[in-house]
Structure 1
Amino acid sequence: MARRCQVTGVGPVSGHNISHAHNRTKRRFLPNLQKKRIWVKELNRFVTVKLTTSALRTLAKNGTGELAKLITSGKIKVR
């Protein structure tokens, strides 16, 4: 499965490790993904999604209504 948030679409970004001598080597910054089982009241069932911690905080603040819209529109595949 890809390292991508199912809600926000955030994925890995690239950058450099920079040594004290200023030598640069390529590296990847991975998002903080968590697999979470969330009760969606609108769908009356649990949904397992992979999302970033910032998206999880946004869902906690705004509710699961937006998540239900994404699932019913087919933008998020759920098990």
Structure 2
Amino acid sequence: MSKVCILTGKKHQYGNTVSHANNHRRTRFEPNIQAKRIWLEEEKRWVKVKLSAKAIKIISKRGTAELAKLLQGK
């Protein structure tokens, strides 16, 4: 399962975990990806998508029109 948001394009990032003794080690930070079923009113169907938490907030605020446009392009 790839951890990439289809709406915002968020994916993993690399960085350092720094201890109290200032020891650095590389780590991979994953985005907060959630699998959701969303009802598209324009197409009268459910779609399964992987979205970040920010994308879920965007959809709840602006509606599913942006998501529908994105899915029609695929």
* Pairwise TM-score range, normalised by the shorter structure: over 0.9
SS at match of 2:31: coil
SS at match of 2:37: strand
Shift of 1:6: 1.1
2:6 and 2:65 mapped to 1: Cα distance? 15
The percentage of counterpart residues that share the same residue type is 45
Unaligned runs of 5+ in 1: 75-79
CA displacement 1:9-68 (0-9 Å, x = unmatched) = 100001101111111000111000100000000111000000001100100000001111
Unaligned runs of 5+ in 2: none
Partner of 1:17: 17
2:47 and 2:70 mapped to 1: Cα distance? 12
Tell me how many residue pairs correspond in the alignment: 74
> What one-letter code is carried by the residue in structure 2 that aligns with 1:11?
K
Q: Give the aligned CA root-mean-square deviation in angstroms.
A: 0.7
Give TM-score scaled by structure 1 length: 0.90
